[in-house]
Every structure is written in structure tokens, then in C-alpha cells.
């Protein structure tokens, strides 16, 4: 793991930021086109993910990212979901359970 990512992972684990519940996601892909003085068109765009709590019908988070980050997120989500589904189907107890340092029952939504 890269040193920057390792530090980010450690900071995430130490964070006291409570999770925010969202049960829907809306994807927006705005594209901006520009024409230069020679008539050539240049396009740029990004991916925006809006997470929504359907109980309150309110957006709880809006994240804008580059297409590269979105592709990495897709890959990470796919791998994580496949691993989770495999673990949930398994009758085995995990060898090393996830460590929980603090339990919070606060709901922010």
C-alpha cells in the first residue's frame, strides 16, 4: 500500500465521524464543451454522486470526482461487494473479526 493511502486509512480508522445513512444514489455526469478560436471543440466532464436518505427524501451527501476516481471507485466497490457476498454465504466464522473501538447509535439523516 502506498504511504499516502496507508496514512489516509489510519486517519479514517481514527476518525470520530459518524456514518451517514443513505439508501439511494443518484449519478450525474455533467459535460462542458468549449470551442476555441479555430473552431476545435474540447470537452471535459466529471461524475457527481448524490446520496439520498429515502426516509427523509433528502440528499445527505454530494461528491464530485474525476472519471479516473469514479472508475477506481467502481473497481473497489465491485471487489468489496464480491468479497462481502462470499463471506456472508460462508458458514465459517472470520478468523480475525473487525475491530470496533467505539460504538455509536447516532443516526444522522
Residue 100 lies in a domain: no
Q: Kindly report the pTM of this predicted structure.
A: 0.67
Quote the number of domains for the chain.
1
Mean pLDDT in residue range 32-41: 94
Is there a domain that residue 15 lies in?
no
Give the CA radius of gyration of the chain.
19
Q: How far does CA 53 lie from the centroid of its chain?
A: 15
Residue 10 lies in a domain: no
Q: What is the domain range of residue 31?
A: 21-89
Q: Does residue 57 register a pLDDT over 70?
A: yes
Specify if 9 maps to a domain. Answer: no
Residue 65 lies in a domain: yes
End-to-end CA gap in the chain: 33
> What is the rounded distance in angstroms from the CA atom of residue 42 to the CA atom of residue 19?
39
Task: Look at residue 105 and tell me if it is in a domain.
Answer: no
Residue 109 falls inside a structural domain: no
pLDDT in tens, 58-80: 999 999 999 999 999 999 999 99
> What confidence score (pLDDT) does residue 100 get?
43
Is 83 a member of any domain?
yes
Sign of CA dihedral 5, 12, 50, 74: positive
Amino acid at each position: 500500500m502506498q504511504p499516502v493511502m496507508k496514512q489516509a486509512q489510519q486517519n479514517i480508522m481514527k476518525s470520530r465521524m459518524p456514518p451517514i445513512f443513505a439508501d439511494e444514489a443518484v449519478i450525474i455526469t455533467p459535460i462542458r464543451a468549449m470551442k476555441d478560436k479555430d473552431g476545435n471543440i474540447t470537452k471535459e466532464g466529471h461524475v457527481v454522486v448524490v446520496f439520498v436518505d429515502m426516509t427523509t427524501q433528502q440528499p445527505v451527501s454530494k461528491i464530485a470526482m474525476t472519471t479516473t476516481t469514479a472508475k477506481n471507485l467502481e473497481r473497489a466497490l465491485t471487489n468489496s461487494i464480491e468479497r462481502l457476498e462470499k463471506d456472508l454465504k460462508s458458514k465459517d466464522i472470520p478468523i480475525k473479526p473487525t475491530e470496533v473501538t467505539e460504538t455509536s447509535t447516532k443516526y444522522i439523516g
